[in-house]
Amino acid sequence: MPRVTRRLTEDKRARADAAAVIAEAFRQALEAAEAFAGATAPNPPVGCIALDADGQILACEAHQRAGGPHAEAAAIEACRRAGVLDRIATLVVTLEPCNHTGRTPPCADAILSTPATAVWIGASDPNRRVAGGGAARLAARGLEVRWIESLPRRDAAALARDARRLIAPFGRAARAGRPWLTVKQAVAADGGMIPPPGCKTFTSASSLRLAHQLRRRADAIITGSGCVLADDPAFTVRHVPDHPGKRRRLAILDRRRRTPPAYLRAAEARGFDVALHDDLHALMADLHAGGALEALVEAGPTLMGALLAEGLWDEHVVIRQRAGQPDAVDIRTREPV
Ligand SMILES: NC(=O)c1ccc[n+]([C@@H]2O[C@H](COP(=O)([O-])OP(=O)(O)OC[C@H]3O[C@@H](n4cnc5c(N)ncnc54)[C@H](OP(=O)(O)O)[C@@H]3O)[C@@H](O)[C@H]2O)c1
């Protein structure tokens, strides 16, 4: 092979290798962040990886709870503790670094205090106009700022979509002033939503696990008095580990005040902040004011029908029982994510 051609081929391979390193780091950053989805409200879950010049991972951290360090600050601090701060060459972060002082100092400043020369970012900050762009600030200070969707790989668009989905509840709250609404619906083989007498559910063990994963990432559960009266539901996270110390709201739509006081007391004893509500829109404003990013709707056909008819939903999860086969799970997500 002529020397020039060989060099071009080697350059191409090196670029592909470098892109593969960023893609893998980004996937790990997403995974780190997803583990804390449901624990960070009113902040979004965020993951960050610090890489050295050879593409070795120096630190992988996530934002774990509001008031705690942001993912970038945590990754930088982990590098400092490990004595590798001076080796940071690239930071890979799922959400645009913040550029404002909230409960913690701006992440853009933390990044500028490191030797990093490049930052890969998954999603832009939905609060951009309020906060001022962290990406622009870093670029203005000479860092190479790249968005993950520009990664020269076939999976770049999917990585960017995953990053946007991760912060979708935060975006919904910032733009619409209400939590992201996940509506979970179990449908029996006969198409109905009512379990057989004596049963609270008709879905399989794996569907039950999914339902509890949805609860885990929610800051509030929304239900109707009909569901409460029929099922006496616990609404706790049981089939997957919950976030330690997580306290959720339990909002019961109940204009006629049919919910038994004993149910309210028992729900409080299970760790919920419980309240009865009359109006869906007022409830949305109330949940938003309380910092909830995501609410899971687990209700009977009346309330669910009302929400779907109003278009008041963001993710519709349908678990469909099938005779003699595993349940089918259908997830529809509202754009834009
Ligand atoms: N398959 C599933 O996924 C699933 C899930 C949960 C429950 N269920 C089943 O569903 C059955 C109960 O059904 P359901 O339809 O009676 O229960 P529901 O939808 O949970 O609750 C109905 C009550 O919610 C309130 N409500 C509904 N829409 C409202 C709105 N737009 N604004 C304000 N309040 C509203 C009303 O209270 P007021 O009448 O006081 O106004 C209404 O009576 C049970 O058999 C249960 O097992 C199935």
Three-state secondary structure along 140-162? HCCCEEEEHHHCCCCCHHHHHHH
Could you write out the DSSP letters of every residue in 198-244?
Answer: T-S----HHHHHHHHHHHHH-SEEEEEHHHHHHH-------SSPPPT
Question: What pLDDT does 130 receive?
Answer: 44
Question: What pLDDT does 200 receive?
Answer: 74
Ligand 1, atom 7: nearest CA belongs to which residue? 300
Report the range of poorest mean pLDDT among 52-61, 307-316, 326-335: 326-335
pLDDT tier at 109, thresholds 50, 70, 90? very high
Say whether pLDDT at 335 is over 90: no
Q: Of 61, 72, 96, 294, which one is the catalytic site residue? A: 72
Q: Given the DSSP bridges, would you call strands 180-187 and 315-322 parallel, antiparallel or unpaired?
A: parallel
List ligand 1's pocket residues with C-beta within 6 A: 185-186, 193-195, 223-227, 230-231, 253-256, 258, 280, 298-303, 306
Q: Which residues are bridge partners to 120 per DSSP?
A: 92, 146
Ligand 1, atom 45: nearest CA belongs to which residue? 194
Q: Is 72 a catalytic residue?
A: yes
In the predicted model, what is the mean pLDDT of residues 75-83? 98
Distance between CA atoms of residues 321 and 101, nearest Å? 49
Q: At what angle do helices 3-34 and 156-166 cross, to 10 degrees?
A: 20
Residues 6+ apart with CB under 8 A from 180: 168, 169, 172, 173, 293, 294, 295, 314, 315
Say whether pLDDT at 6 is over 80: no
Pocket test residue of 223, 228, 255 for ligand 1, highest count of atoms within 8 A of CB: 255
Say whether pLDDT at 22 is over 70: yes
pLDDT tier at 196, thresholds 50, 70, 90? confident
Say whether pLDDT at 132 is over 60: no
Structure tokens that stand for 122 in this block: 């998954």
Q: Given the DSSP bridges, would you call strands 57-62 and 47-51 parallel, antiparallel or unpaired?
A: antiparallel
Evaluate the omega torsion of the peptide bond into residue 195 and state whether it is cis, within 30 degrees of 0.
no
Q: Among residues 321, 47, 41, which one has the least CA distance to residue 190?
A: 321
Instruction: Tell me which DSSP letter residue 31 carries.
Output: H
Q: How far is CA 12 from CA 7, 89, 104, 146, 322, in A?
A: 9, 21, 41, 19, 50
In the predicted model, what is the mean pLDDT of residues 239-259? 97
Dist. CA 304 → ligand 1 center (Å): 7
pLDDT digits 0-9 by tens, 199-230: 777 778 889 999 999 999 999 999 999 999 99
In the predicted model, what is the mean pLDDT of residues 181-209? 87
* The residue to which tokens 């933390």 are assigned: 110
Dist. CA 207 → ligand 1 center (Å): 21
Ligand 1, atom 37: nearest CA belongs to which residue? 254
pLDDT digits 0-9 by tens, 145-169: 999 999 999 999 999 999 999 999 9
Share of the chain above pLDDT 90, in %: 81
Question: What pLDDT does 5 receive?
Answer: 72
Q: What's the whole-number average pLDDT of the chain?
A: 93
Pocket test residue of 225, 252, 259, 316 for ligand 1, highest count of atoms within 8 A of CB: 225
Dist. CA 39 → ligand 1 center (Å): 28
Residues 6+ apart with CB under 8 A from 323: 189
In the predicted model, what is the mean pLDDT of residues 178-191? 94
Dist. CA 254 → ligand 1 center (Å): 9
pLDDT tier at 307, thresholds 50, 70, 90? very high
Dist. CA 193 → ligand 1 center (Å): 11
In the predicted model, what is the mean pLDDT of residues 191-198? 84
Share of the chain above pLDDT 70, in %: 97
Instruction: Tell me which DSSP letter residue 86 carries.
Output: G
Helix, strand, coil shares of the chain, percent, nearest 5, are 40, 20, 40
